[in-house]
Amino acid sequence: MPFRFVHTADIHLDSPLRTLAMRDPDLASLIGGSTRQALHGIVDLCLEEEVDALIIAGDLYDGDQTSMKTARFLADQMKRLHEAGIVVYKVRGNHDALSKITHELVLPPSLKLFGGRGETVEFRLNDLYVAIHGLSFSKPHAPESLLPKYGRPRSGAVNVGIMHTSLAGAAGHDLYAPCSVADLHEWGFAYWALGHIHVRSEHREAGAVVMPGMPQGRDIGEAGLKTVSLVTVADDHSIQIEERPTSIAQFERVPVDLTGAETWPEIVDRIEREIIAVRDATSAPHLVGRLFLRGQTELSWRMRRDRDLLRADIEHRLGNSGRTWIDKIEIGTAASRGVPTARGTPDPVDELGILIRDEIRSQHGVRESVAALVKEIRDDLPPDARRFCGDDEAGFDSFVDRLLGESGEEIVARLAQDGAEFR
Amino acid sequence: MRLRRLDLTRYGKFTDFALDFGERAVGGPDFHIVYGLNEAGKSTAFSGFLDLLFGIEERSTYGFLHQYAAMEVGAVLEFGGKLHEVRRVKQRTGSLRDASGQTVGDGLLVGALGGLTRDAYRMMFSLDDQTLENGGNAILDSKGELGELLFSASAGLAGLSKALTAVSGEADGIFRKRASSTDIAGLKRRLTELKAARDQIDIQANAYSVLVADFDRAERAYEEAMTEHVEFKARSKELGGLVRAAPLLAEHRRLGEQLSDLGALPNPPGHWASELPALIDGDATLKTRLSGLDRQTRRLRDERDAIVVNEALVRLTDRISALSSGSARNVGAETDLPKRRTALNEIRSRLIQFARSITGEDCDVDPDTLVVDAGTLAKLRELIERWSGVETRLASTGTELEAATQAEKHAKEDREILERDQPTLDATRRAALQAAVTGVKASDLLPRRRLAATAVSAKARAVEEAMHLVPWPGKREDIEKVQVPSGRQIQDWRDTLAGQDLRRKSHRQHRRDLETEKAELQASIAAAETCAGTIGDDEAAALRERRDGAWTALRDGPDVRSAAVFEELMRAVDTMADARLAAADRLAELRRLKRDLDVCKARMVREDELLAEVDAETGSLAAHVKEVCAIGIVDQPSTSLGERIAKIEAWIARRKQAVSAMSEHRSALADIQAVECAIVEATASLDKVAQSVGAVSKDLELTVLLQATDDLLAKEASQAQLRAAADKLVRDAGRSVGTRRKAAESAVQGGQAWRDEWAIALTGTWFRDRSDDRRAVRSIVDELTGLPARLAERDELVRRVRSMEADQESFLSDLEALQHELGEEAGDKAPGAAAADLIERHRVAVDARSQRQRKRDDLAEIEKERAAVVDEIATHDALKADLLTFFNVQDLKEVSACLSRCGTRDRLESERSSIASRIMQETGLPSMEVAEECLAGLNAGEQAREHEECIRRLEDLDERLKSLFAARSGAADKLAAIGNDDAAARIEAERRTVMLEIEDKAVRFLHLRTGAILAERALQVYREKHRGSMMARASEAFRIITRDGYSGLATRPEKDRETLIGLSGSGGSKLATDMSKGTRFQLYLALRLAGYTEFVATRQSVPFIADDIMETFDEPRSEEVFALFGKISETGQVIYFTHHRHLCELAKKSVPQAVIHELLS
């Protein structure tokens, strides 16, 4: 009789989605509880597939999560598994280590939470001998590899290791138990159930090293299909891994080439076509797309000025489908206006644009006053809303650079459009 | 680029329309005015030009006449030193074609336009009144900021300042430090609200642990209180039992004593007490009932034995019953049978009689053979009824046919007579006549002749009247030949004369004024001269002369006298000089007055000359008038030249009337002549046609002729009607004969058919030989109808008689058989009476038998009852013996007393045991003995007091338990209320979204503000770059347009900006924003023209197009603007659209080489 389990990690229960699309109250009500729905779905999957166990490789919640409602919801889901006789094996990740609610929660006895020292749970499933090894983060940071703390593989058993790790080389994650895939393979376990990195990766040699990714992406940085692993260990110890989709809302980037578009409706048409193409390829019930508009079009300036209108028009078009939403529109189109000639540009508006680009931006004092402006507004905002201008000095500088570039183009667009319209 | 020709091939309202601007004049201006009224298509032409250059717009509004697919504009363009003929159709790709229709890439034009887009072209190189007005307003909006003005003028963006203001406004709407109404402030407030909402519903982990601790505490307290409560409850229960058991124990003891008083008694069975009364009663009654039953048995036996039954009769019951009914029928038959037989005989003889009468035979005929079936009878009856119809129809159709044949004959005769008396007119000729008459009538010749005649006489009268008013000595016809001065000439005379009069009057007035002035001056001089002490200039000169003489004398020969004279004169001169010095003012005044007098006189002379001049002019005018009139105008005596001119004018007017009346008279005469000619022609042609018909006399006047032909035609028409009516009669009569004939034939056929049916119907009847006698057949049929019923009646009577006879026979044989069986003799009795006797005897026998049976049943019942009483007595005796033996007494009364004592003892024992069990229950002790022992050692008062205390303590504990329970429930509820819902998570999600929105808004704000900073700086740089060249051009243009009202433009620096000022022609300056509205428009125009000049100076030119921009300009300034356009057009083509004709003239005046094109609407 095979040993079957579902492997997930980084659920970040009740962690909010980060998209402006949520301004739409309809959408907010549909996907506001996506992380919960994802967990519920994973439990459903366990029950439907009648698996033996659910493995959670850390980060059930955000570290600053303190609502007991979240904890209660988790407890209820664990109870469902308990009632169905499904065991849960769980290690704490860096977020869980921070969490206060973990300590207050009473979880069903069938949930095995591994402690800060390496532990192994062994059991027999008919003829199959299974050993599960786990280790929790006891502090939010673990700069050293945790691998040496794990027990060696039990002979004759199917060894499954649960670890929360950034894996070596994962940029920006080096404080989280770094450890290389090769080292893991070498340890000799049949299956390493990892967590921490939000993107899925699978490394198979003699054994399998699997990072399942999170079950529900929360912003465009966590775009793409999100899944859990459904693992079957056969009596001959062979391992079969299936991916099962879990997200309620899927974030996707939607590039749209608008070259040569002549009218507003044409632009909306083309965008709608691209979004629908992406949506048709999306398995999640809801698609939240970020539009990247490119190409040369006469309407470039108007789009920059009427960004809100464009968004409203597209949303109106998509409104009927009820499952496609706009995260943000990034306009990178260029106007096919004047072509500078040897004798200069033919159009004063272009001349103004060129002046801004070539002279004004680098003019003495301009950058300083813009930077001061950015600081002034930044310091007036709540701390959580200050990240738009970078976390450090380099980030701030690059934000100011971008601001100068984009604002110059936008203001020229506006002057040309509005200057003509106020005629 | 230059537009040589614009082809609006299929565009807007135009089809194949071309605006040809021609070749460019060498060295001269390339200035075109396109004139067209409103709606003539000026805007269409401009739009067509743009569509040619940049492609026809996707949703063009110019496709209303020609469909999109058919739309086409074309042009001949000059650029790159060559001519290019191109056409533009409405297509997504390949819309630009050359003259031969081959697709040309858009690159051809893009190069020539230097990358200009449609919008840029429209903004920069076209102008209309709206643009100008907005431009003027833009000057106000920009507060004269030079950079903005130069930029907006060269880009044609009049709304620049508003756009910049809108950017600032939008930014301010998003964020302002310390402002509460901005978007970001609103979002921050929302964050606070969300935090409050979350705090209200959510439980944080640390708060949760506090709740859990609260619950545990409440739980513990409750459990402790509960334990105490249970203990006290038990003690209270124990004490209460002891207290209640004490009085019960006393009662228990008392009952024990009563029992011992009763002594030893046996224990009889419990049911005896209840059975004893019935036992005593049974002793008395049972024996009596037994003897009564025995008596009844004996009586019944005797009664039964006394009843005798005739069994033989009873056995024959069935047959006697049948005899009874047969007897009743026998009695009826005896009375009915003779009556029936008589009736039968009667009916038979009636039938034989009937047969004889109907057949008419003497011998007897069987009536049954006379019956004919009902179908045949009905058929015969129906045929007889139909016969009269058939007969009538035969008769009437015959008569009608004869009458119709007669009528037809008469109609034909009448028609022939009609044709003989009035033969038909030939149709062709009649039509020709009709046409001729209609033609004459339609031409209205006669009314026209009447009208013309009236007109001639009226015009002749008018000529008379007019001539009467014009004095004219010559022949009437000659008056027309007179050459009269034109109205304009006379007006000239009048104007000249009026001018002369005016001048004369003015000169006279001046002359009068001068006269007055002269008198005044003379009076003033006289007054000045008479003023004392004043030495006039002449006198002074004389005195000085004398002094000079004295000096000369002294110098020539000095002596005392001459010296004295000189001295005296010197003194006199000095005195005079002093005096004159003193009166210098008066002297000067006098001198001035004299000079003025001289001037006055000179002016009077001049006025006189001028007056003479005017008079001479008037004289020559009068002579000229006279000369002009001399050629024929009847001059009338007049007092003045003016009056004379008026009279001449009046004469000319009257002459004109007369001449016009004469001309009208002549034309009336010509009219009437023409009508007469036409009448003669019409008469001739009508007459010719009438003659051909031959019914009209020759050479009649047209009126008479018309009447005659009308009559002829009318008569012919009425004849034709008569003939038609007669023809119709003949036709109708013919048709009627046909119809009648058919009817008659059909009647004959009907008669034959009836006869055939008649013969068939009679076949098979016994009276077929009477077929010809329809009346006889009819009566036979009527008679036969009743026959079957009568035969049936006869047969019924026969059947009834036979049945009665059979009944009688059967009755007699039955009676005889019964009597034989009973062994009785028939005797003398009639069978009816014998039968009645037998039946009566049988009834008696049956009654006796049933009575005997009833007695038997009663007897059996009594015997059963008796056996039961015997059993009861045996039982009674046995029980009684048991009781007496048990109590060992003699009778039942004693038994009763014994049983009563036993009952009392049992009740006491029961009560005592019940009290004992209550005592054990209250004390909880196992037996009565233990209880007695225990209770004996207790103090009852002590127990009761302790019990009371216990109760009070329990009450306190109850209250405490309640409050502790509530506290525990509350804590549990709070824990339960946390729930697992996602309300808090959703609030958190919204908070996150608000954060994102704040960031989004902040970035938006920064874009707007940074954009504004960049734009302001860029405009400054733009200003620096273009200030020199554009300012010089605009300044010059503004000077020209304002006709030196402003000498030019200058700038004034202010902090970080530079504003535009106008330099007034009279010195001084004015801010651009302080200028009047019209001047601001002109300033904007100057800036725009400077922008254009700047453009063409450095690049290839494109046509500049203006559309009626000078609505608000006065004529002189308009003229200057045209001149400016003319000048600009020396470097680039300028096209000006207008719907004002005077502007075309004005333009032509300013720029003589300007070409005017008309756009015809």
Mean pLDDT within B174-180? 90
Q: Which of A211, A245, A279 is at the close of a domain?
A: A245
Instruction: Pull the structure tokens for residue B421.
Output: 């008396």
Distance CA B544, CA B654 (A): 82
Collect all residues with Cβ–Cβ distance below 8 Å to A218 and sequence separation of at least 6.
Answer: A12, A15, A16, A17, A18, A35
Q: Checking DSSP bridges between strand A87-91 and strand A111-113, what pairing results, if any?
A: parallel
Interface of A with B in 42-101 (CB under 8 A): 66-73, 75-76, 100-101
Nearest chain B residue (CA) to A401:
B1010
Residues A231, A191 within the same domain: yes
Alpha helices in B175-309 (DSSP H): 183-201, 205-262, 272-305
- Between CA B271 and CA B289 the distance in angstroms is 27
* Model pLDDT for residues B1047-1060, shown as the tens digit of each residue: 888 888 887 788 88
pLDDT of B1161 strictly over 60: no
Tell me: do A302 and A230 sit in the same domain.
Answer: no
Residue B1023 neighbours by CB under 8 Å, 6+ apart: B146, B147, B150, B151, B1058
Q: Indicate whether A141 and A180 sit together in one domain.
A: yes
Exposure on the CB side of residue B582, measured as CA atoms within 13 A = 10
pLDDT in tens, B377-391: 888 888 888 888 888
DSSP notation for A99-152: -SHHHH----TTEEE--SS-EEEEEEETTEEEEEEE---SSS-B-S-SGGGSPP
> What value does the mean pLDDT take over residues A337-363?
73
B614 touches B464 (CB < 8 A):
no
Query: Do residue B160 and residue A419 have CB atoms under 8 angstroms apart?
Result: yes
Separation CA A317–CA A324 (nearest Å): 10
CA distance B66 to B43: 17
| pLDDT(A345) > 70 | no
User: Which chain B residues have a beta carbon less than 8 Å from that of A299?
Assistant: none
Quote the number of domains for chain A. Answer: 2
A20: containing domain: 3-245
Higher pLDDT, B536 or A251: A251
Nearest to A377 among B151, B163, B1006 (CB): B1006
* Nearest beta carbon to residue A68 from set B177, B978, B1007: B978
State whether A149 and A282 are in the same domain: no
Cross-chain Cβ contact B155/A380 below 8 Å: no
Q: Is the four-CA dihedral B617, B620, B626, B629 of positive or negative sign?
A: negative
Query: Where a domain ends, among A194, A213, A245?
Result: A245
Q: What is the mean pLDDT of residues B808-835?
A: 82
The gap between the terminal CA atoms of chain A, to the nearest Å, is 81
Closest CA to A374 of B1015, B1008, B186: B1008
The Cα B85–Cα B102 span in angstroms is 11
Percent of chain B surpassing pLDDT 70: 98
Nearest by CB: A419 against B152, B208, B1091 = B152
Q: Does residue A374 register a pLDDT over 70?
A: yes
Residue pLDDT, tens place only, B905-945 = 888 889 988 998 888 888 888 888 888 888 877 787 888 88
Give how far Cα B217 sits from Cα of B367, B574, B689, Å: 135, 144, 143
> Mean pLDDT over all residues of chain B?
85
Q: Chain B residue with minimal CA distance to A361? A: B1014
Q: Which residue has the tokens 């733009």?
A: B1022
Q: Are B976 and A69 in contact (CB under 8 A)?
A: no
Q: Do B159 and A36 touch (CB under 8 A)?
A: no
Report pLDDT for B531.
64
Q: In terms of domains, do A257 and A168 share one?
A: no
Of the candidates A100, A382, A421, the beta carbon closest to that of B205 is on A100
Looking at the complex, does the CB of residue A348 fall below 8 Å from at least one CB of chain B?
yes
- What's the CA gap between B149 and B815, in Å, rounded? 159
pLDDT on residue A337: 55
pLDDT(A171) > 50: no
Residue A247 binned pLDDT confidence (cut-offs 50, 70, 90)? very high
Please report, rounded to a whole number, the percentage of residues in chain B having pLDDT higher than 90.
11
Give whole-number Cα distances, B856 to B849, B863, B866, B1107, in Å.
11, 11, 16, 150
Predicted confidence (pLDDT) at residue B27 exceeds the cutoff of 60? yes
The arithmetic mean of pLDDT across residues A220-246, rounded, is 94
Q: One-letter amino acid identity for B1039?
A: R
SS3 B1027: helix
Tell me: the pLDDT tens digits for A123-164? 998 889 999 999 998 888 888 888 999 999 999 999 999 999
Closest CB from B113, B163, B982 relative to A415: B163
Does A382 lie in the same domain as A270? yes
Residues in chain B: 1161
User: Could you say which DSSP state residue A15 is in?
Assistant: P
Whether residue A225 sits in one domain with residue A286: no
What is the SS3 assignment for B51?
Answer: helix
Query: What pLDDT sits at residue B75?
Result: 92
> Do A404 and B157 lie within an 8 Å CB cutoff?
no
CA distances from B594 to A103, B518, B541, B600 (A): 131, 10, 18, 10
Any A CB within 8 A of B978 CB: yes
A299 and A315: one domain? Answer: yes
Distance (Å, whole) CA B879 – CA B884: 9
Q: Would you say the pTM of this structure is higher than 0.80?
A: no
Reported for B522-529, long-range contacts at CB under 8 A and 24+ positions apart, including other chains, are B522/B597, B524/B593, B525/B590, B525/B593, B525/B594, B525/B597, B528/B586, B528/B589, B528/B590, B528/B593, B529/B590
Cα B779–Cα B782–Cα B788 angle in degrees, nearest 5: 130
Residue A232 scores a pLDDT above 90 = yes
Question: Using one digit for the tens of pLDDT, what is the confidence trace for B28-65?
Answer: 889 999 988 888 788 888 889 988 888 888 788 888 88
Helix (H) or strand (E) holding B1060: strand B1057-1064
Residue B367: how many other CB atoms lie within 10 Å: 21
Predicted confidence at residue B888, as pLDDT, reads 83
Residue holding tokens 């009645």? Answer: B836
CB < 8 Å from A in window 111-130 of B: 113-117, 119-120, 123-124, 130
| pLDDT band, residue A269 (cuts 50/70/90) | very high
The residue out of A245, A275, A295 marking a domain boundary is A245
Q: Quick check: A342 pLDDT over 60?
A: no
Q: Which residues are CB-contacts of A19 (< 8 A; sequence separation ≥ 6)?
A: A219, A220, A251, A288, A325, A327, A328, B993, B996
Chain centroid to Cα B312, Å, comes to 113
Same domain as A58, residue A173: yes
- Between strands A286-294 and A191-195, the pairing is unpaired
Is B212 part of the contact surface with chain A (CB cutoff 8 Å)?
Answer: yes
Residues B979, A352: C-beta atoms closer than 8 Å: no
**How many CB atoms within 10 Å of residue A26?**
10
B116 has pLDDT over 80: no
Q: For residues B1052 and B1058, what is the distance between their CA atoms, to the nearest angstrom?
A: 5
- Residue A32 backbone dihedrals phi, psi, to 5 degrees: -60, -35
Average pLDDT score over residue span B159-177 = 89
Per residue in A14-38, pLDDT (tens digit) is 899 989 888 888 888 888 889 999 9
For residues A180 and A272, membership in a common domain is answered with: no
A345 chain-B contacts, CB cut-off 8 A: 115
Q: What is the pLDDT of residue B633?
A: 67
What backbone phi and psi angles, to 5 degrees, belong to B1051?
-125, 160
Report percent pLDDT > 90 for chain A: 52
Indicate which of B996, B1005, B1093 best probes the interface with A, i.e. most A CBs within 10 Å of its own CB: B996
Query: What is the domain-level CATH number for residue A112?
Result: 3.60.21.10
Q: What is the ipTM of this complex?
A: 0.89
Q: Do B985 and A361 touch (CB under 8 A)?
A: no
Give CA–CA dist B860/B297, Å, rounded: 9
Query: Would you call B208 helix, strand, or coil by DSSP?
Result: helix
3-state secondary structure of B443: coil
Confidence check: pLDDT of A169 > 60: no
By the 8 A CB rule, do A166 and A151 touch? no
CB count in 10 Å sphere of residue B550: 21
A256 and A199 in a common domain? no
- Give yes or no for B200 touching A (CB within 8 A): no
A271 with A178, same domain: the answer is no
Query: What's the maximum distance between 2 C-alpha atoms anywhere in chain B?
Result: 257
